[in-house]
Amino acid sequence: MHVVVSGGGTGVGAEIAQTLARDGHAVTILGRTEASLAAQNLPYQICDVTDEEAVAAACMAARNDQGPIGAAIANAGAATSLPFHKMTGSDLRAMTDVNLAGVFHLWKAALPDMMEAGTGRLVAVASTAGLKGYPYVSGYCAAKHGVVGMTRALALELARTGITVNAVCPGFVETPMLDRSIANIVDKTGMAREEAAKSLAANNPQKRFVQTEEVASAVMWLLSEAAQAVNGHALSLSGGEI
């Protein structure tokens, strides 16, 4: 199967892409930074997921290179932390553009191949922030809730086509994005880094951070034959937080 993974140059996306490749899938990764994409030693296309035309062009190039797209993993995302009263409309749009519209753009570009084949998998890497609220990230929570809602709606639209639509919703994952969140807490509170990390891990009843390979394994299962009946699901990977 040819699988396209957005945000495939680092963190969760890179782990998903490498896991898929080891399993024998043809993989194309998308991202904005060529150096991080090239470091994965996988076919890649440079694009910004907030740009619908760029995503469509990247998927066309991927299709020409490795054949029809059988699965699209919308992983690209970003998080910023701000009190609601300090947010601007631009802050909100920045969160919805990458975290919500980015999913829409990839799925829309990849869907025609799956419709023609009568089978396929659409997966979004959302977040527990799509299932509950967290303080100081209202824009991020709004965007990720939107991803879960779009997942559930599209799953019903495509239920009889052979295409499934699902989301995985990790808690805090040990990635560069988590490092930035910890650094932000340290900068704003003066808390020691270890204490800041512990404050975030406390959200997980297992008192630890989710690992990238755990997210990749969940995505692999959703792509497998065993998950054919799993549709419109938001799978929480959170140690029991949700």
In order of 12, 37, 43, 135, 141, the CA distances from 18 in angstroms are 10, 12, 11, 33, 28
Angle at 8 between CA 199 and CA 220, to 5 degrees: 85
User: Do 28 and 65 contact (CB within 8 A), yes or no?
Assistant: yes
Q: Strand 120-125 and strand 163-170: pairing?
A: parallel
Which residue type is seen at 174?
Answer: E
Contacts of 81 (CB under 8 A, 6+ apart): 136, 137, 181, 184
Catalytic-labelled residue, pool 44, 134, 136, 140: 140
Instruction: Scan for tokens 């919500």, then name that residue.
Output: 100
Annotated catalytic residue 134: no
Alpha-helix residue ranges (DSSP H) falling in the chain: 11-22, 34-38, 52-66, 89-96, 102-117, 138-157, 176-189, 193-201, 212-223
Positive or negative CA dihedral for 168, 171, 174, 180? positive
Which residues does the annotation mark as catalytic? 140
